[in-house]
Structure 1
Amino acid sequence: MKLNLFLLSNLLCAAVLAQAPDPTPGPVIKEYGAVWDITKATYKTDTSATYKAVFDVMNSPEDKTQVNPWIETAARFLNMHARAGVAPEQLQVALIVHNKASTDLLDNTHYRERFGTDNPNSPLIKALMDSGAQVVFCGQSSVARQVPAEQILEGVQLSLSAMTALIQFQNQGYRLIKF
């Protein structure tokens, strides 16, 4: 009986998920950051507030042909809040990249040398920076992970350390987002 209830429960969950609409990207980051519209929220989003978020990005997928989902979280943040009615100029985003995610900041030439493929994160990072997001690379990880500043994507800033950048952004009122 327990096994049958377990199977029935799993089948019901699968059926519910199969009926859910697919998330969609945009409007801020058009190719990334797919989210669902939430039309019946009872905890309302304050559309008059300024949202300052700093994302601590330290992990990266093992498959180097995949976009880093921890970087894409920033795109989801921008898209979901814009859809909820928060003006894009009220959304301030910074990504602090370090540790295993260090190579995700390599330009295509150097990424190809290491992994045999173009950097799948490059278009996403460019789109984030084009939307006003700051991308900051940890100088300590740059040395430790052998990712010199000369090899990273244009527009990415180099800091003394991830710790330093995280503290400075939080001192400026940014709220830490860590997944």
Structure 2
Amino acid sequence: MKYLLLLVLLISPLIYATEQPIKGYGNYYSVPEHDEINDATVFKIAFDVGDGAEKGKKNNSMNSLARFINMHVAHGVKPKKIQLALVVHGSASVDVLANSEYKQRFNIDNKNQNLIKQLLNSNTMVYVCGQSATHFKVAPEQLIKGVKMSLSAMTAHAQLQQQGYTLNPF
């Protein structure tokens, strides 16, 4: 019995590593003995990102959504029970520019585009604040396909809250 337990402990990190829905982002630690997550639990969570990444770098705050998804799927939560929203505003508004627009503006690739596309394909809604976008000269047609322009970040958060989303404090 103890050899079986040892085998499970040795193999489990390998199992978790192959189940990552978001590839190349969202590293996490395995926690084999965690408080149980009820099968009925549905995570409806909004993440708020206002600080932009250094030009040509990944936005680590956006990576938190990938970590949340990968960590929970690896620990038994079904992907359909993870419904996330990313609300982008402030200087982070340029981080959701399509790569062609980003490269034209900053002469370097947008390192966030791949992550945003994977998030959009993983049941995540992405909104950019229209007020910030206007300030930073970001037009709707310049956004990564699937990113939506909200009237404001405040509007997006208010509407998400009415739909049952909670705000992640991190």
Q: Which range, TM-score by smaller chain?
A: 0.7 to 0.9
What is the aligned partner in structure 2 of residue 93 from structure 1? 84
What is the TM-score normalised by the length of structure 1?
A: 0.81
Are 2:29 and 1:45 equivalent residues in the alignment?
no
In 1, the alpha carbon distance for the partners of 2:117 and 2:29 equals 23
TM-superposition CA deviations, 1:63-107 (whole Å, max 9, x none): 212110111111111111111111001000110111010000111
Alignment-mate amino acid for residue 112 of structure 2? N
Unmatched 5+ residue regions in structure 1? 1-20
In 1, the alpha carbon distance for the partners of 2:55 and 2:65 equals 19
1:144 to 124, 135, 140: 135
The offset of 1:178, in angstroms, is 3.6
> What does 1:14-53 correspond to in 2, within 5 Å?
26-41=19-34, 43-53=35-45
Question: Would you say the 8 A contact 1:25–1:35 is kept in 2?
Answer: no
Alignment-mate amino acid for residue 93 of structure 2? S
Unmatched 5+ residue regions in structure 2? 1-12
In 1, the alpha carbon distance for the partners of 2:19 and 2:63 equals 12
Are 2:109 and 1:118 equivalent residues in the alignment?
yes
RMSD of aligned residue pairs (Cα, Å): 1.8
The offset of 1:26, in angstroms, is 4.9
Question: Would you say the 8 A contact 1:25–1:79 is kept in 2?
Answer: no
Q: Give the count of matched residue pairs.
A: 156
Alignment-mate amino acid for residue 47 of structure 2? F
1:56 to 48, 56, 63: 48
SS in 2 for 1:38: coil
Runs of 4+ that moved beyond 2 A: 23-26, 43-48
What percent identity do the matched residue pairs reach? 42
What is the aligned partner in structure 2 of residue 76 from structure 1? 67
What is the aligned partner in structure 2 of residue 8 from structure 1? none
Greater CA radius of gyration, 1 or 2?
A: 1
Distance 1:98 1:26, change over 3 A: farther
